Structure 1
Amino acid sequence: MTTIPTVPTVELNDGHSIPQLGFGVFQVPPAETQKAVEQALEAGYRHLDTAAAYRNEEGVGRAIAASGIARDELYITTKLRNGEQNIAREAFENSLQALGLDHVDLYLIHWPAPAQDLYLQAWEQLVTARQDGLATSIGVSNFLPEHLERLLGASDVVPAVNQIEVHPTFQQTSTQAATRAAGIAVEAYSPIGQGKDLTNDVVTNIAAAHDATPAQVVLAWHLAQGTIVIPKSTHRERMEENLNAVNVTLSDDEIAQISGLDTDERVGADPATANFTML
């Protein structure tokens, strides 16, 4: 019988905690989502990350219902669509209905979408929704330092999490620094650069030294820095491989080598200009 690894947790600024390694469903087709999430839960994941914009919340919800796992053993995140920032409460309730849940553990504003100038309004609705028990924690995603500064100046409620693109060749050091300085946890999406960082010689050499895979090494690099990670895969073997990254311990020198790979090249959109509505 395979031993399921123990995933560490990160304590958030609101007193709650989050499993540091989770399972993301970005770009998982809706028709494949239930099966993928069921496999992830069987592999041992208890932290699931989805979003209204992914159009697969229903599949996540069906997998949760079919799993038989107690709700308090799961950590569920979903996110607010850009095009619904003016109706955040309604959008949130629609997500809960799609998931078949009465609350989520974390609800995020997906993008600041600065051209809309609605994220402060949306944040206040998230604050109220949390007070009403719809979310245990609330946070943001893709917020750059200027967006964080504006939000923190307008609200007494500090986001628990800022979910941003982070991987060895795109580390967003200034955004990470601003996020952590405010007491906000950093959560990395596209944590292996959608695969492009796995062929780097530094990563592959460290992987060989640890009898680990390149993906495990990159995820271990994130974990060592206190970053929350949500890798995605639709292959059971890779799901298990990623989860076992918690058993890889890198030296300070190896962490520094990987940190030296930053090229400041995104694989995703730039939050300063991204204003798609995702509807």
Structure 2
Amino acid sequence: MTDQPAIELNNGVRIPQLGFGTFQVDSDETQRIVETALEAGYRHIDTAAGYYNEDGVGAALKASGLARDDVFLTTKLRNGDQGHDSALAAFEASRKALDVDVVDLYLIHWPTPTRWLAPETWRAFEKLLADGAVRAIGVSNFLPHHLGRLLETAGVTPAVNQFEIHPTHQQPAVQDASRAAGIAVEAYAPIGKGEDLSEEAVEAIAQAHDVSPAQVVIRWHLQQGRIVIPKSATPERIRSNIDVFGFELTTGQLDALTGLERANRLFPNPDEFEASQFRD
């Protein structure tokens, strides 16, 4: 791994704290964009079956020439593949698309509470972990009550809960519930789809440090102990987003960013999102 901070998960696996997200990265562009990210120094790549770009991620890993152990790879299970046997089959399809033997982190993408197949899906995840096909298992978009229901039957506590966190939507209750259970918090949409970058506090702090607003927000996540996966398709921004280790926010600056919270959700409510994530 490059000299970046890493977080030790509850099973001892270490995950680079700053990763690269691939949500809505077109499959035709994925290899080029992920290669750019790897060249810039990212050693943690996040994808999902529902993004339909796992093959591009795998091709980029191969083309990079990096050793497989040098890149931490996350993918996620589509909602329509939840269930014990279907999850196992879906994992094999993801592993084939990524062209890897082992996935570092495998996540249930959404809780889909009206169907609530998480317990049997989780048993499949635990089997994959026991078999060595994955190094860590976790969830995404799970609210506190979803976590509570899953933990009632889980033999293995999720290592990670990945969900929407940015200055104007921090979900403190979800962060607290995750950490209380020993689950690492990972932020997606960490700059609020770019919307949070025009906040006055963000711009003022960026000017004070002579860095970009995005760098300020990413640094805020890192200093608060979250795993963070910014995404960009622009080479300059890809490189800029990882160049966040040469400055440090003050306590007052951290508090100013935390003070921007106003429950500004940009992605679906996990209690309502039930889409299969299959292509039409």
TM normalised by structure 2 equals: 0.97
* Aligned-partner Cα distance in 1 for 2:2–2:11: 26
Partner in structure 2 of residue 173 of structure 1? 172
Q: Is 1:213 the equivalent of 2:215?
A: no
Partner in structure 1 of residue 275 of structure 2? 276
Stretches of structure 1 that go unaligned for 5 or more consecutive residues are none
Partner in structure 2 of residue 134 of structure 1? 133
The answer to whether the 8 Å contact 1:139/1:162 transfers is yes
Cα 1:5–1:78 shift into 2, 3 Å: closer
Q: Is 1:47 the equivalent of 2:44?
A: yes
Partner in structure 1 of residue 108 of structure 2? 109
Superposed CA offset, 1:118-143 (max 9, x none) = 01110110000111111000000000
Q: Which runs of 4+ in 1 moved over 2 A?
A: none
Q: Residue type of the partner of 1:199?
A: S
Partner in structure 2 of residue 240 of structure 1? 239
Partner in structure 2 of residue 197 of structure 1? 196
Identical positions, percent = 54
Q: Residue type of the partner of 1:116?
A: R
Q: Secondary structure at the match of 1:146?
A: helix
How far did 1:236 drift? 1.1
How far did 1:6 drift? 2.9
Which of residues 17, 20, 35 in structure 1 aligns to 2:17?
20
Cα 1:236–1:5 shift into 2, 3 Å: farther
The answer to whether the 8 Å contact 2:87/2:124 transfers is yes
How far did 1:248 drift? 2.7
Q: Residue type of the partner of 2:120?
A: Q
Q: Is 1:38 the equivalent of 2:41?
A: no
Partner in structure 1 of residue 61 of structure 2? 64
Q: Secondary structure at the match of 1:77?
A: strand
Partner in structure 2 of residue 121 of structure 1? 120
* Aligned-partner Cα distance in 1 for 2:20–2:220: 17
Q: Residue type of the partner of 1:65?
A: K
How far did 1:246 drift? 2.9
* Aligned-partner Cα distance in 2 for 1:204–1:181: 33
Aligned CA RMSD, in angstroms, stands at: 1.0
* Aligned-partner Cα distance in 1 for 2:179–2:43: 25
The answer to whether the 8 Å contact 2:2/2:43 transfers is no
Q: Residue type of the partner of 1:22?
A: G
Cα 1:5–1:248 shift into 2, 3 Å: farther
The answer to whether the 8 Å contact 1:169/1:197 transfers is yes
* Aligned-partner Cα distance in 2 for 1:5–1:254: 27
* Aligned-partner Cα distance in 2 for 1:72–1:175: 31
Superposed CA offset, 1:118-170 (max 9, x none) = 01110110000111111000000000000100111111210000000000000
Q: Residue type of the partner of 1:71?
A: R
* Aligned-partner Cα distance in 1 for 2:187–2:68: 24
How far did 1:116 drift? 1.3
The answer to whether the 8 Å contact 1:6/1:246 transfers is no
* Aligned-partner Cα distance in 2 for 1:132–1:156: 15
How far did 1:45 drift? 0.6
User: More deviation in 208-217 or 150-159?
Assistant: 150-159
Q: Residue type of the partner of 2:74?
A: T
How far did 1:213 drift? 0.5
The answer to whether the 8 Å contact 1:5/1:247 transfers is no
